[in-house]
Amino acid sequence: MYEKSSKNGKETLCIKVPKVYDWVTRQVDVPLQTFTGHDSLKTLNFSCNGHHCVDPCAALAGMGSLSIECILTDSYGNPVNPLSPDAIVCTEIPQKNGRPEVEITIPNGEVITLQKVKVLKKGYFVVQISNSSGSVVCTSDPQSFAVAEKFFLCAPEGTYLQCEITDIECDVNLICREDEEGDPIFQQIDVSINMCQNIQMEAIVKLEITADFCQPRPEVPFNCPPLNFPTQCPEIFPGNDDY
């Protein structure tokens, strides 16, 4: 960090910071994932009560009302905080010859030049089925999802993508039907995922600013408590002339 002489108690500083070139927000809907028929159960590969489950509808028959939900996880099926930076991968998709330029007419009629940026988001989820008491009785294998989008942004060469997921919803619906004997069997599971996102284009720049230096805050007063020693055994220690 380079600094000039002080002026009126302030210093002129050169700092290195990320500059935001463009910033948009958008909701993205992941294409509906539908698992239909018994062949799709091989993909979901449910485990119910610790055992492989061919058909959760048949296995859970007679257990009363069931609830189903989808949980965001890593590739191993471990639950993750969906808003943590690494929970959902969000990266720019490289394009041959770089980001193409596009002329856009803005509402005031002015024509501006922006760049087309392609963005990929991907992650994993599991489907969990719980009984009427709320205990999880069936869990699927991790399932992947992905969605690609394009944005028209101020993204000149040298800028990079900064992506943040600010909200996410994962909804799932289980459909069971009755066979010829009237027993429940699996028909379909639908999973829909919706996300809100911040998309920014940034670059590291050096700025000259005039500012005060920061100082630490006063520490909150703290009185050390008195030291309490364990009870001694004066009958035998320290030693006396009787020993």
Beta bridge partner(s), residue 103: 113
CB 196 within 8 A of CB 166: yes
Q: How would you class 223 by CB atoms within 10 Å of its CB: exposed for 0-12, middle for 13-18, buried for 19 or more? A: exposed
Rounded to whole angstroms, the Cα distance separating 242 from 240 reads 5
Rounded to whole angstroms, the Cα distance separating 37 from 21 reads 48
Query: Which stretches of 131-182 are assigned E, i.e. beta strand?
Result: 136-139, 143-153, 160-178
Annotated domain spans of the chain: 20-205
Q: Alpha helix locations (H) across the chain?
A: 37-44, 56-59
Rounded to whole angstroms, the Cα distance separating 68 from 131 reads 9
CB 87 within 8 A of CB 71: no
CB 147 within 8 A of CB 30: yes
pLDDT in tens, the chain (243 residues): 444 555 566 788 899 999 999 999 999 999 999 999 888 999 999 988 878 888 888 877 777 777 899 999 999 999 999 889 889 999 999 999 999 999 988 888 899 999 999 999 999 999 998 887 778 888 999 999 999 999 999 999 999 999 999 999 999 999 888 887 878 888 999 999 999 999 999 999 999 988 887 777 666 666 667 767 677 667 666 655 554
pTM: 0.76
